[in-house]
Structures are given as structure tokens and as C-alpha cells.
Amino acid sequence: MLLTAQLISVSLSCADVQIQQVVPDTTIAVISTNNVADTIKHLQSAGVCDQMLEMCTTVGGESCFSDDAQCTEMLYALGFEKETWTPPTGHAGFAVYPVVDYEIGSVGLGLFGIVELDDSLYGEFFSTQFDSLLQESEVEVESVNLSGRDVWMIQTDLEKLPQAPQWNFASGAFDRVYIAYSDSTLMVGTDPDVIATALLGLDGEFEDDTLDTNKDFIALRDRCGREGDVFAGVLLTNLADTIVQMDQTGMAMMFLPSVKTLFGDVDGIAESISIAPSSDVFIDARYSALMNDGRSGILGLIGSNATQQPIPDFVQSEALSYTQGQLDLDKFVDLVKDTVQSNPMLAMQMGSQMEQMEAGLALFFNPLGSRYHSFSSGQLP
């Protein structure tokens, strides 16, 4: 009974942490994978790694990429043997989110990355060799305590970004980088608060207002599914809020309504990608655009529930990709009119020309049909 209690205690004290459980619910963009090794394996089987190496060799020359020798030397410098080293098999993610500095009243951007590692491979390196590596690189580093753990704080040599007077942006947001390794998890970020939140998560103590509680993020994940190799999403509502907070001139408040009218009030977009799911498929991707208030704008022109039609004869058999769909072009003229009227400045400048513009657009779009086909052959015309 005592042994069982100890095992339960250990399992609870070292919880698996994923990036959506750590970054705030105001996060702008996120990308993650549940198994780094599987993703790399699928990229290799699809030939992506070979193509990237060939491109890099073409640009930088063969001397820049001397394959095995350089790889072996780099791993040896990090304390790893090439024969025994394997890619991480756990979760990895990266996110961008806004950071508010209440003392000076500015808004910056925070960056955070996390990857689950094999402690038998990396534990000794971070406990005994990483400090020496930092000292040899001659960076300014000190140890700080976050959530009861020692964290490396590195002072970067990056000059502060030029401060544009119209943007209330914290230009020193990237002058420090925090690195932490604990419980087989490596974390790198520019914001100590998120690093501290992630370290608490390893102890099973999760914050309430994190990304996995954001309703838009949950809806996008459910739509795209969780079976793919890589998931990526952009929460456009959070992006718009961040832009408005940074803009001191108020211009963002004027042009954002016009952008929403033109393209549609999109709350978020996401995609889930499976790489080389079979021998004859390169990428299987599922995309989603979340519009909580209904479809509108240009996205509203795309017909919903369009029936699949046979592939036309003009689509070549060796085509790399093919797409078909339906567009309600009869709504386009009204969309342009609504977009102009939603912006007082545009309405004032173009109001007298609207009738002539409507007539010209109608002459152009009326002869067109409602179905569209697009394909790529991968060849120049």
C-alpha cells in the first residue's frame, strides 16, 4: 500500500504539460505537435528533409552542409553520441501572445516554446554541461528562481527595436530570454510569468485563464481534430485586440471594421496536417475558419454544402493539387458597397462614384458562373 501511494504521488507531481495549458487565453498564434519524432519521421518519408537539404546546399554551397561530419561534431559538443541520439518523442509547441507592462502602460509580444525530452539523454547535459556552454558563449547569464526552480536568465545583445510613435509597443520585450529544464521538459521564453506558470503545471497546478479554456481555440481544435502530426492556429480576435492596444493614433479602430466587412468577421483560423499518411498522399490537411456571428464578407461568398462534381477533363492527370467549389458572385457588388459605407472616410471620397462602380462590377461579374476549379501542375506555362 505504501509503494502504491508513493507511485501515485510521483505520477501526480510530474504532470505532462502541453503548450495550450500554459500560455494565456489571449494568445495570438500557436503551433504544436504531440510527437516530434513521428513528425520528423513522416517528413523524412515524404522527402521533405532531402529537399530542404538540397535547397540549403544550393544556396550556401556544399561546404556549408557537410552532412555526417558536422552533425557528429555538433552532437559530440553537446555531449551526445550520434549512434544513441534519437529525436524527442513527446509534445512540442511554440506560441506568440501579448504581454502588458502596466508600469509604463505599453504592450509587447511574448514568445514561448516547450518540448518534452528524454531525461536519460538530456538530464545530465542540462544539469552539468549547459552552464559551461553558456559561459563559453560569453553571454550575460544569471540564475533566477521561478516557482521554486532555478531558471537561466540570459541578457541578449539585441538592440531595442525602434519605437514608432504611433505604436504603443514595448520595444524591450525581447531583451531577456529565460531557459528552464525540469521534469524532462525544456522551456524557452521571453516572459518569466509564463515560464513560472509552466513550472507550476509540472506540479499539477494549472492556471485558470490559459489557452485551453478559450472557447474559440476549443472550437478550432474540435473542428480540425487531434489526429494530425501538426496543429497550428491564429486567433484573429486576440490579434485585433492586440493591434488596437498598440495603436496610439486610433486608426486601427477605424480600419478594422472595414477589414471585417470585406473579409468577414473571422474569429480564428486553424489547420491540422498529417504528413505522408499513405504512400500516394503527401499531405492530408484539414482547415477551419471560425465565424461565431455567421459567415460574411468574402468568406460568405463561398457556397456552403456544395455538391462534389466530377473532375473536368481540362485538369491534367499529373496535377499536384485540385480544388473545386462554388462562389455566390451575385453578392460581390453589395459586399463592395457595404465595405465602402462602413468606413466614413471611404464613403465620403467614393460616395458619388458608387453607382458607376456598381454598374461596372455588374457588367464584369454577371456573365460568370458560380462554380470554380483550380489546380496546380507544378510546371511553368
Domain layout of the chain by residue ranges = 326-371
pLDDT of residue 180: 94
DSSP state of 129: I
How does pLDDT run along the chain (381 residues), one tens digit per residue? 433 444 334 344 456 899 999 999 999 999 999 988 888 888 877 777 666 666 665 655 555 555 556 666 666 666 666 666 778 889 999 999 999 877 666 788 899 999 999 888 888 888 888 887 787 777 888 889 999 999 999 987 655 545 554 555 555 567 889 999 999 999 999 999 999 999 999 998 998 899 999 999 999 999 998 888 999 999 999 998 888 887 777 777 777 877 888 888 899 999 999 988 877 777 888 888 899 988 888 887 877 656 677 888 888 777 777 888 888 888 888 888 888 877 777 777 776 777 788 888 888 888 888 888 888 876 766
322, 375 contact by CB (below 8 A): yes
pLDDT of residue 213: 95
pLDDT of residue 350: 76
Q: How many CB atoms lie within 10 A of CB 307?
A: 6
134, 141 contact by CB (below 8 A): yes
pLDDT of residue 210: 95
pLDDT of residue 44: 79
Tell me the helices (H) and strands (E) count for the chain, helix number first. Answer: 13, 12
pLDDT of residue 95: 97
pLDDT of residue 7: 37
pLDDT of residue 11: 40
Strands 230-234 and 29-33, how do they pair? antiparallel
| Residue 278 bridge partners (DSSP) | 281
pLDDT of residue 265: 87
Helix (H, G, I), strand (E, B) or coil at 251: helix
Question: Please, which residues have CB within 8 angstroms of residue 54's CB and are 6 or more apart in sequence?
Answer: none
- Residue 318 and residue 315: Cα distance in Å, rounded? 9
pLDDT of residue 53: 64
